[in-house]
Structure 1
C-alpha cells in the first residue's frame, strides 16, 4: 500500500509491479502513473497536471476513483476486474469505455466531456458475444451534459437496482416506454431524478414524464 499526499516536486510514479493499493492526493506536478499490473485500488485526486493513469491494461484493479484532475482525458480502458468506478470533476475526461464486465457501481459527477456511446457498444458486445449481462447495479450520472444517457444504454443494464440522473445528463424520451420499463429494468428499486434549470430558469424535464409510473417494483422514487 502506498499513500502520497502534497508532494509538489513529484512528477512521475514509476513502475511498481507488486503494489496493490495506491492513494495520491494534491501532487501539483504529477503527470504520469506508470505500470502497476497488480493494483487493486487506485484513488487519485487533485493532481491538475496528471495526463495518464497507468497503462491500458490493469487486470486486477477493483476500485478506481478519479477526481479533480483537470487535464486527464482517458483512463485505462481494459479493466476486467473493476467493480467500482467513481469519476468526479474531470473537465476533459472523454470516457473511452471498452471492457469492464465486473463493474457493479459507478458514479459520474461534473464530467462535461463524458459520452456513453463507447459504453453502449461494449455492453452490446458483452451480451452478444459472451452471452452475459452486465453486473452493474448502481449508476449515477450528474451534471454531465455530453453523456446524453438514454434508453439504449439502460436496456443493457438488467441488473440495475439504483439509478440516479439529472435532466442535463439524460435523454429519456419518448414518453411511450412506461409499459416496457419493468421488462428491461426488472431489478430497479431506487430511482432518483433531478431537474436542472438553465439561465432562463426554464425547467428542462418539463412536466413529469409519464414513464415514471411504469416501474411497479420501485421502492424509492
Structure 2
C-alpha cells in the first residue's frame, strides 16, 4: 500500500485515477442487510447426496435436465438426457418457464417413460425447479441439484444443448417454432451416431436399455 497526501492539482488527479483493480475510483459499499438464504429448494437434494451409481453411467435411468431459453427470456425448450444412452427428450415452452409452467410438462415427459428407468434427475439450481417435490410425487423420480456455476456436473445435458443450437441458434424465439420442428430435432439427435457409444445411436442404445431393464424387472 502507498500513502500519499494529495496537494493542489495532484489531489484532483488522485480523485479521478482508477486505482482499484476493478477500474472503479472507489469501492462499492456493502449492504448491511442480511444475505439471502439462497435457493431453499436445493436443501437436502445436493448432488453430493446423489447415489454413487450415477457417476459411472453403467446403470440406466439417471437423467440430466435443463432449459434452453429463447430470445428475451420469453420462451424455452425443456431438454432431458439419459446418461447411459444419451437419449434426448425435448418439449417446447412457448410462454413462461417458471416452476408453475415447467413442472406439469416435465412430469408428463418423465411420466411417459417406464418406471424402471425413472431413477434420478440432475438439474441446475434454477427457480423453475422450486416445486420439484411435486415432480417426485407424480413420477417417483428423485431430483438432485448441481453446484452453482458448475455445468460440467451435467455434462451430457450441456453437450446436447450445444448440439440443439445447431437447429435453434441463440436468439431463436421458440414461440415461433412449431412442436413438429422440435420433434424433428429430437429425432435427428437420437439418430446421430456417437463416438462415446461406439458409433451407435442414442436410440439404439436406449432400446437395448429398455430390453435389458425388462429382463431384470
TM-score (norm 2): 0.22
Q: Which has the higher strand share?
A: 1
More helix by share: 2
The structure showing larger relative contact order (alpha-carbon pairs under 8 Å, at least 6 residues apart) is 2
Question: Based on CA coordinates, which of the two structures has the bigger radius of gyration?
Answer: 2
